[in-house]
Chain A
Amino acid sequence: MPAPRYLGFDTLSLHAGQQPDPTTGARATPIFQTTSYVFRDTDHAASLFNMERAGHVYSRISNPTNAVLEERIAALEGGIGAIATASGQAALHLAVATIAGAGSHVVASRSLYGGSHNLLHYTLRRFGIDTTFIDPRNLDAWREAIRPNTKLLYAETLGNPGLDVLDIPSVSALAHDAKLPLLVDSTFTTPYLLRPFDLGADLIYHSATKFLGGHGVAIGGLLVDSGAFDWEASGRFPELTEPYDGFHGMDFQEESTVAAFLLRARREGLRDFGACMAPMVAFQILQGIETLSVRMDRHISNTRKVVEFLTKQAAVESVSYPELPSHPDHELAKKLLPKGCGAVFTFAIKGGRPAGRKFIETLRVFSHLANVGDAKSLVIHPASTTHFRMDDAALLAAGIGPGTIRLSIGLEDPQDLIDDLAQALRVSQKA
């Protein structure tokens, strides 16, 4: 008898979480554009509210289209389930707020998307959640920053924008030694390039707006749980292991040995904060995921060609991409990211800020905007946009200089991208 095997990644990208609609026969996932769901009778209603039956009550809490997306990303990541949120920021907030509150502490990489840095450094601090930012490459710094009230270690799989490769096996090991979970933002890598749960991470979130959606048409987030972290054994998470008055005295860990985190995140965080995903958005992101592997291969192939071109240009001071031997995480990237290091990277242009401005304004194919992971190629100047709230020292620590340019390489003909960059570089040096 042949050894049984799970469906492969490409098949799961198309099928996980969805079967043809039993009522209409629709093959594509229907968009369930409804706020609420009719109960069969009063007992059915009561049992849904009390979590005695599985089902949908109100689309802020769950929706059938969203559920397909949630199951699909969980299958692709090797997790137990997921929650679709209004944005990647909402997913990060939901992850933190589910297990942390006033008096809690987070240890976070300092190489973060500017919005994530804002949330932790300014906004959550206002609500009593303190964060220590550390160099993600310094394992001692992670260890030394942990306090008795720490709830979470958090970093991006590829730090934004310097592409620090997170050593997930080492950071998760030290997190687990401290009985803490590791949360990673895997937006830049997607499950096609990296499966963080296989390396020891406990929670993943995505800005699904980026490569998962892939077409720049929908804002959304996904929070995925590995189900592997033992909240009970940790002893640091009464939110999950003791009765919760806010939901019928439910002890989430008692309800499910593996799903306590997601149960509370949905039954408290999604219910009360309300940052849910719209079903139309879930449909659009599902459409993107169906072609994820095909698109990512092309993103990577194009990126490699563009990187090779830039490294040979006199107008370019440096290129930061982990596949280059000059990148500090080159060896780690070879080990953790054999399929590729994503399609977002930075380079430094000669001539600093004025040359950078001229370069961006001269590009014709690249679009100047604040996003990554679109099918179209994108460009931005982080110091004046995504990271503008950070002072010079913090910028430098995050690997951002005044002339740093960030590119997100799309799916166009790669020669057209190279030609566009070449003409813009020429003009930038005449300024």
Chain B
Amino acid sequence: MQLTVNGHPAYAYTGGKPFDAALPTVVFIHGAEHDHCVWVLQSRYLAHHGHGVLAVDLPAHGRSGGEPLRTVEAMADWVRALLDAAGVQKAVLVGHSMGSLIAIECAARYPDRVTKLVLMGTAFPMKVSDELLTATRDDEPLAQDMVNIWSHSAYAHYPSNPGPGFWVIGENLRLMQRQKPGVMHADFSACNDYANGVAACGQVKCPVLLVTGKRDMMTPPRATKDIVNALPDKRIVEIAGSGDAIMAEKPDDLLDAIRAFV
């Protein structure tokens, strides 16, 4: 689905069905150097089970135009503008990693537009090591390898994603390589610079589901402590045998957690 948001083309995958704003809407927000397709299984399922789905490509990612946004706050405003463009009054926001920070900030800023949050691969502060941040600027292939290796907990996945026969680690690397030059540094800088996490969590009024990967090396469960403490209404699901890339490593477990919550 093509929209225009803030004057730029914006793309959202609608789960293989035409988007219907009259249905309860779920917005999926990807993480750094990714696009909508990381959510293909979960979003496709919900779209065929009574939801309107918008799995977005953030500005400059995937099929969306414009320049990469430089702050989590700007990305949160963009999500609200996207809801306006799609004619959606209220939505559940599902975010991964950087997308989880965007979802928190959006729910804090626009509490009347967000009914529930699902956060995974989240942490606050989401500090990026100097080595990685420098690599995102000076050596994207190295940075992509670092992130790719740290994002996965295993070298075998059952039944893989988006289906049998896919090598999840190779797939994730290619997806990062498809993003435009400069996007990775902008994304990781935005995560690193975001300072409003705890304050924003305190302003979140809606129920929150946190999904953590037990073997997450990028945003280990201990790094969610401040967020967990600051959120008033939350529940936590820990998924065994998954790293940061929960959507790819444990797609069914994640879907079941989301289904039960939304």
Q: Could you tell me which A residues sit within 8 Å of B by CB distance?
A: 1, 3-7, 12, 15-19, 47, 50-56, 62-64, 66-68, 70-71, 74-75, 78-84, 226-228, 230, 248-250, 254-259, 262-263, 266
Contacts and interface: CB of A to CB of B under 8 A. Distances in A.
Q: Which 7 A-B pairs have the closest CB atoms?
A: A74-B167, A70-B165, A52-B45, A81-B166, A227-B174, A62-B164, A67-B164
Contacts of B16: 50, 248-250, 255
B142 to A, nearest CB: 8
Given A17-B167, A74-B167, A257 B160 contact: no
Contacts of A230: 178
Contacts of A70: 164-167
A68 to B, nearest CB: 7
B112 interface: no
Contact of A83 (B48, B129, B165, B252): B165
Contacts of B206: none
Listed residue (A5, A47, A81) with the most chain B CB atoms within 10 angstroms of its CB? A81
A258 B160 contact: no
17 contacts: A5-B149, A17-B156, A19-B154, A19-B155, A19-B156, A52-B41, A52-B44, A53-B255, A62-B164, A64-B158, A64-B159, A71-B165, A227-B171, A250-B16, A255-B162, A257-B35, A259-B162
A80 B170 contact: yes
B165 A262 contact: yes
Interface string B132-170: 000000000010011001100011111111111111011
Interface string B194-209: 0000000000000000
Contacts of A257: 35, 37, 62, 175, 178
Nearest to B252: A53
Interface of B: 13, 16, 35, 37, 40-41, 44-45, 48, 62, 129, 131, 142, 145-146, 149-150, 154-167, 169-171, 174-175, 177-178, 251-252, 255
Nearest to A19: B156
B159 A56 contact: yes
A4 B160 contact: no
Nearest to A229: B174
B149 A55 contact: no
A4 B155 contact: no
Task: Summarize A's interface: helix, strand, loop or mixed.
Answer: loop
Given A15-B156, A53-B252, A75 B170 contact: yes
Listed residue (B129, B142, B169, B178) with the most chain A CB atoms within 10 angstroms of its CB? B169
Contacts of A82: 165, 167
B159 A71 contact: no
Contact of B159 (A55, A256, A259): A55
B174 A81 contact: no
A50 B48 contact: yes
A58 to B, nearest CB: 11
Given A47-B45, A67-B160, A62 B37 contact: no
A228 B142 CA distance: 17
B165 A67 contact: yes
Given A50-B48, A55-B163, A71-B167, 16 more contacts: A4-B146, A4-B149, A4-B150, A16-B167, A54-B164, A62-B165, A70-B166, A74-B170, A80-B167, A82-B167, A228-B174, A228-B177, A257-B37, A257-B62, A259-B162, A263-B163
A263 B251 CA distance: 17
A269 B33 CA distance: 32
Given A4-B145, A71-B166, A81-B171, A54 B159 contact: yes
A167 B5 CA distance: 45
B251 A53 contact: yes
Given A47-B48, A54-B252, A67 B159 contact: yes
Contacts of B45: 47, 52-53
Contacts of B170: 74-75, 78-81, 227
Contacts of B178: 230, 257-258
A82 B165 CA distance: 6
Nearest to A232: B63
A191 to B, nearest CB: 12
B40 A255 contact: yes
A405 B71 CA distance: 67
